[in-house]
């Protein structure tokens, strides 16, 4: 699997090496530097902090993995760029409705679950990567052939990968019982006329999307579909248009790691998205995608090992897109 065309290493050797290096260099880190498993969703707090997996999937359908790559975890915020893509697709022929105009496309500079960032601007617009923008986006989905927006979303998420993603009932119930902050956000979106449906219905769909269970293998394949301009490299089906993929990857650059996105772009230079269960997905356009899973997070909610892995691979192979 020669995904690294300019090197003597195969993808398998690369991820084996980086996996070991990240584990070894961790020994020098303090407990605080190693990060903490998300604790604001009870089911996530129970995760094994030592889980660690890396998968790399290329645009020819090849996949290599190491570690706990068969362990399903909830996709959490990594659903956001993909669901944004579905909303773009659902409205691609609708000249009267622009998802981008309604949601906004700019960095907020605030945490992913910020309330302040909804009120501080007169137009209340944020972007599809933070909770407020993502709840808006899930509200704009259409029913599709399934006549149910959630089924429509799950089918689409499966079409990006191998069709085996499913709703994690435990994490869905756990988050639903404890998401008072997101309830506040959804109600504010309704008050500001950013969404038209019952805000709790929009939030429920968003929470389900965050509770979709994936492995790093599936996540890497979803990323490879983006790297491949929207064409799933395994099923060979076109899921998104090239221009929709450009919008998705642009938002991953602007806000994929929330308030740390600018520093991440400077250092790493790859569109990347994080989730609080410990997933991290980076896309190297026209080549491959790298998915990492490790539950310990930094203060912004991004996987510590995940960032170490992507940073190392980007620097080793000069992947910075600029
Ligand atoms: O809404 C939430 O808080 C979670 N379902 C998702 C947040 C998340 O993944 C933030 N990312 N790193």
Q: What is the DSSP letter of 266?
A: H
Burial of residue 222 (number of CB atoms within 10 Å: 0-12, 13-18, 19+): buried
Residue with tokens 């965050």: 210
Q: How far is the CA of 8 from the centre of ligand 1 (A)?
A: 38
250 domain residue, yes or no: yes
87-127 pLDDT, tens per residue?
Answer: 999 999 999 999 999 999 999 999 999 999 999 999 999 99
Ligand 1 mutation pick, 208, 275, 278, 300, max ligand atoms within 8 A of CB:
275
Q: What is the mean pLDDT of residues 280-305?
A: 96
223 domain residue, yes or no: yes
Percentage of the residues of the chain whose pLDDT score is greater than 90: 93
Nearest protein Cα to ligand 1, atom 3: 113
CA distance linking residue 189 with residue 194, whole number of Å: 5
CATH code at position 204? 3.40.710.10
pLDDT at 2: 45
5 domain residue, yes or no: no
Name all residues whose Cβ lies below 6 A of ligand 1: 76-77, 112-113, 131, 175, 182, 210, 274-276, 301-302
Q: How far is the CA of 4 from the centre of ligand 1 (A)?
A: 32
pLDDT at 205: 97
If you average pLDDT over every residue of the chain, what do you get? Answer: 95
Could you list the residue range(s) of the whole structural domain that residue 108 is in? 11-316
pLDDT at 267: 97
pLDDT at 34: 96
CA distance linking residue 267 with residue 247, whole number of Å: 22
More confident residue, 21 or 5: 21
Q: How far is the CA of 269 from the centre of ligand 1 (A)?
A: 23
**Ligand 1 atom nearest to CA at 131:** 1
Q: How far is the CA of 44 from the centre of ligand 1 (A)?
A: 11
Position 144 pLDDT exceeds 90? no
Nearest partner of 192 among 120, 90, 85, judged by Cα = 120
Q: How far is the CA of 276 from the centre of ligand 1 (A)?
A: 5
Burial of residue 24 (number of CB atoms within 10 Å: 0-12, 13-18, 19+): exposed
Task: Quickly state the pLDDT bin for 9 (edges 50, 70, 90).
Answer: low
22 domain residue, yes or no: yes
Ligand 1 mutation pick, 112, 259, 261, max ligand atoms within 8 A of CB:
112
78 domain residue, yes or no: yes
Ligand 1 mutation pick, 131, 172, 274, max ligand atoms within 8 A of CB:
131
pLDDT at 61: 92
Position 4 pLDDT exceeds 80? no
193-245 pLDDT, tens per residue?
Answer: 999 999 999 999 999 999 999 999 999 999 999 999 999 999 999 999 999 99
Number of domains in the chain: 1
Q: What is the mean pLDDT of residues 160-173?
A: 96
Instruction: Please give the sequence-ordered ranges of beta strands (E in DSSP) within the chain, or none if there are none.
Output: 36-37, 53-58, 63-67, 73-74, 166-167, 212-214, 272-274, 279-284, 288-293, 296-297
Which tokens belong to 317? 């192979």
Calculate the alpha carbon distances from 254 to 129, 258, 271 in Å: 9, 8, 8
Q: How far is the CA of 77 from the centre of ligand 1 (A)?
A: 5
Position 315 pLDDT exceeds 80? yes
63 domain residue, yes or no: yes
322 domain residue, yes or no: no
Task: Quickly state the pLDDT bin for 11 (edges 50, 70, 90).
Answer: confident
**Ligand 1 atom nearest to CA at 112:** 10
Annotated binding site for substrate: 77, 131, 175, 182, 206, 258, 276
Nearest protein Cα to ligand 1, atom 4: 76
CA distance linking residue 287 with residue 318, whole number of Å: 13
Task: Quickly state the pLDDT bin for 84 (edges 50, 70, 90).
Answer: very high
CA distance linking residue 68 with residue 109, whole number of Å: 33
CA distance linking residue 201 with residue 140, whole number of Å: 12
Q: How far is the CA of 207 from the centre of ligand 1 (A)?
A: 9
pLDDT at 145: 76
4 domain residue, yes or no: no
């Amino acid at each position: 699997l020669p995904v690294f065309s300019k090197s003597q290493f195969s993808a398998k050797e690369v991820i084996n090496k980086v996996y070991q290096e990240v584990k070894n260099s961790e020994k020098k880190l303090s407990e605080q530097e190693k990060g903490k498993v998300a604790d604001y969703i009870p089911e996530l707090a129970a995760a094994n902090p030592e889980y660690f997996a890396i998968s790399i999937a290329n645009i020819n359908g090849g996949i290599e993995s190491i570690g706990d790559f068969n362990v399903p975890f909830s996709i959490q915020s990594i659903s956001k760029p993909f669901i944004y893509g579905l909303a773009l697709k659902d409205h691609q022929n609708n000249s009267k409705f622009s998802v981008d105009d309604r949601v906004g496309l700019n960095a907020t500079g605030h945490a992913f679950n910020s309330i302040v960032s909804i009120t501080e601007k007169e137009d209340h617009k944020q972007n599809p990567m933070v909770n407020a923008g993502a709840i808006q986006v899930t509200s704009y989905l259409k029913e599709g052939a399934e006549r149910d927006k959630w089924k429509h979303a799950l089918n689409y998420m499966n079409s990006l990968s191998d069709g085996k993603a499913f709703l994690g009932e435990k994490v869905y119930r756990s988050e639903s019982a404890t998401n008072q902050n997101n309830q506040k956000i959804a109600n504010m979106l309704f008050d500001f006329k950013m969404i038209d449906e019952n805000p709790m219905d929009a939030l429920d769909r968003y929470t389900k999307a965050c509770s979709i269970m994936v492995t790093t293998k599936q996540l890497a394949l979803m990323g490879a579909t983006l790297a491949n301009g929207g064409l799933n490299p395994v099923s060979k089906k076109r899921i998104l248009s090239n221009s929709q993929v450009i919008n998705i990857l642009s938002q991953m650059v602007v806000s994929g790691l929330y308030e740390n996105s600018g520093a991440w772009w400077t250092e790493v230079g790859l569109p990347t998205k994080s989730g609080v269960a410990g997933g991290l997905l980076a896309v190297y356009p026209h080549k491959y995608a790298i998915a990492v899973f490790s539950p310990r997070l930094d203060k912004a909610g991004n996987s510590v090992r995940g960032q170490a892995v992507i940073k190392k691979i980007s620097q080793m192979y000069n992947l910075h897109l600029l």
